[in-house]
Amino acid sequence: MSQLERITLDPDICHGKPCVRHMRWPVEVVLDLVSSGMSMNEILADHPELEREDVRACLAYTGLLTSASMQSM
């Protein structure tokens, strides 16, 4: 599974927001955990259903969105 394949869009899950592997884990929630100062190990310990690659995929996905929005300016 490539990194970005972990990010899924499904209108039946979280109102179609980008989520981690069809779970009810929106990318924005994972990013909130990271931005709150939690380390990768803390996030994974608190939320064992997430994998290290999931957090990395959320960061990569956000990076792509940011890059695309900057190019459209």
* Total domain count, the chain: 1
Which residues of the chain are under the pLDDT cut of 50? none
Which residues does 31 contact at the CB level (< 8 Å), separation at least 6? 58, 59, 62
Which residues form the domain of 16?
A: 3-71
What angle in degrees, to the nearest 10, is found between the helix axes of 52-71 and 27-35?
Answer: 100
**Is the pTM above the cut of 0.95?**
no
Indicate which CATH number applies to the domain containing 64. Answer: 1.10.10.10
Among 40, 9, 41, 2, smallest CA distance to 26 is for 9
Predicted pLDDT of residue 52: 97
Q: Looking at residue 67, what is its pLDDT?
A: 75
